[in-house]
Structure 1
């Protein structure tokens, strides 16, 4: 990891705000956990070109943009939760060793009519990329 400039940048930025659980930057760029995995390859591109994230299938004429990412502090906050509602937090956390989770959404913020329920609430699938700790080795 010491030879990965993306990981070095990630740790330097996180040092300045270690309690940050969510990083929101609509239309910006993700803070990559490493520069070596398949997720990084989607965002490390030539200047002036778009990210290599798949277009939304429900809106093929559109593109996706970076919107937010979960930071490592999220795991630490989950680890401090007590077992409640018969949910074993340890079972959820077992093997949870990601560095960051990146979310990209439709630039047009489009939801097809058939995806709305009777309360006019609609959900669609957006693109998520997970940068795992193991992929950095």
Structure 2
């Protein structure tokens, strides 16, 4: 996932735990953590040299994470929260471009009802 995609994410629609992570280290680094550790607890040590996170996060992001969550086992949310929101945006866009509910359901492997719900939710979020 590229930075342009991540910048389209409406952070307010994400779970609180993910919002807190994004607030601490930014959306790009939060996405990376959800990709690596999503759905599992990750212990945040009090010192950066005591964690493999140093291999995945820049020093500044790791320092912010340690400052805020040191000594805690964070339940890292699943990466699906990001992917689902981007998929729903894409469905809304393709719907506006004239693709039928049936075509969208086939394309994304969803039911007609799910497509209808996504279109309604996206329209309410934008309006």
Q: Same fold (TM over 0.5)?
A: no
Normalising by the residue count of structure 1, what TM-score does the alignment of the two structures yield? 0.29
More strand per residue: 1 or 2?
A: 1
More helix per residue: 1 or 2?
A: 2
